[in-house]
Amino acid sequence: MPIQISGGVLLSGPVILDPTGGSSPTPGGGGATNFGYTAGGDSSPSSYVNRIDKFSFSSDANATDAGDLLAGLTNLAGQSSSTNGYTTGGITLPGVVYDIQKYQFSTDGNATDVGDLTVTRRQAAGQSSSSNGYTSGGEPWNTRVIDKFPFASDGDATNVGNLLFPPGGRTQLSGQNSADNGYVSGGTSNPTPNVSQIEKFPFASDDNASDVGDLTRGVFQGAGQSSSDNGYFSGGRSGSTYDTNVIEKWPFASDSNATDVGDLSVGRGQQTGQSSTTNGYNSGGNAPTVPRYNIIDKFPFASDGNATDVGDLTQARSYSAGSQY
């Protein structure tokens, strides 16, 4: 299928819109063991990326080019099954897309179009249960919609619930998941420019999200990571020009606020996250003085601590989608 967009059909081409937002998932809670993936993004305000990068969890190393999305795409969300990586929504020329794209983990290759979201959206958060992918929040309309699509067969998403706060919805938020619940954290909305709320929604039944805690401050454009026990929010922006290096953590076992547990190697926003079984990863991003980063940061789940720079993406980029295998 060609990429479907609001108001037309796109076969290929560069993108020229100004991007905002992006986030990442973990497959069914607890991370993965093999590779992290960084898909799409933007390398400059007028150049959007179709490349899917892959980097190893078993050793610190630079990423390699593992395939391509159907076109240059940014502001997209990411999900992971046990066999495939997914991207949902995003921006490409000439608008915002519905598309659900899928690429295989077992062999390096290009993505295919396997379905549509219920609404066009960008700057959304991605979550993954063992059997379904979820896309929550985003723009346009600062949507509150939680979409769900199946991993077992290619197909369109269905609207299974709504986020709680703010009432007008939120965008530029981050996604996390335990084995039982999807989470969203941070973001921005009108009239709340810096959102601190952590919400969760159940995987076992289709339902709305509930407010279960707060980040240490209102922040957006950060990355999400998940261990088997905790959700993490790393980096982001708390204001128009301030890019933070903070890594925050909250427990899945009980509804609770997040705590500051470490720092990234450099403060930045607009990055994406990946999760192994033992470490959280933060890739790409930007800052007011650095238009795009190629950094891959790693921080431990077993103990609270700072991240270290362990490799580089194949190209500097921001607003990508993350997945893991």
- Residue 321 in this model has a pLDDT that exceeds 60: yes
More confident residue, 168 or 49: 49
Give the per-residue pLDDT at 3. 39
Q: How confident is the model at residue 13 (pLDDT cuts 50, 70, 90)?
A: very low
Give the per-residue pLDDT at 241. 67
What tokens were used for 23?
């986030």
- Residue 19 in this model has a pLDDT that exceeds 60: no
Q: How confident is the model at residue 26 (pLDDT cuts 50, 70, 90)?
A: low
Cα separation values, 97 from 52, 106, 120, Å: 18, 27, 5
Give the per-residue pLDDT at 45. 77
Half-sphere exposure of 21 (CA within 13 A, CB side): 33
Q: Which amino acid is present at 72?
A: G
Average pLDDT, integer, range 32-45: 94
* C-alpha to C-alpha distance for 77 and 74, rounded to whole angstroms: 9
Contact 98/4 with Cβ under 8 angstroms? yes
Kindly report, residue by residue over 128-159, the tens digit of the pLDDT.
999 999 999 999 867 899 999 999 999 999 99
Residue closest to 27 by CA, chosen among 144, 155, 175, 167: 175
Kindly report, residue by residue over 279-295, the tens digit of the pLDDT.
999 999 999 889 999 99
Q: What percent of the chain has pLDDT above 90?
A: 80
Question: What value does the mean pLDDT of the chain take?
Answer: 90
Cα separation values, 13 from 22, 43, 78, Å: 21, 15, 22
Cis peptide bond prior to 166, omega within 30° of 0: yes
* C-alpha to C-alpha distance for 305 and 308, rounded to whole angstroms: 10
Cα separation values, 26 from 21, 70, 78, 95, 269, Å: 18, 23, 9, 28, 20
Domains of the chain by range and CATH? 3-324 (2.120.10.80)
Give the per-residue pLDDT at 22. 43
Kindly report, residue by residue over 156-209, the tens digit of the pLDDT.
999 999 999 888 889 999 999 999 999 999 999 987 889 999 999 999 999 999
Give the per-residue pLDDT at 27. 54
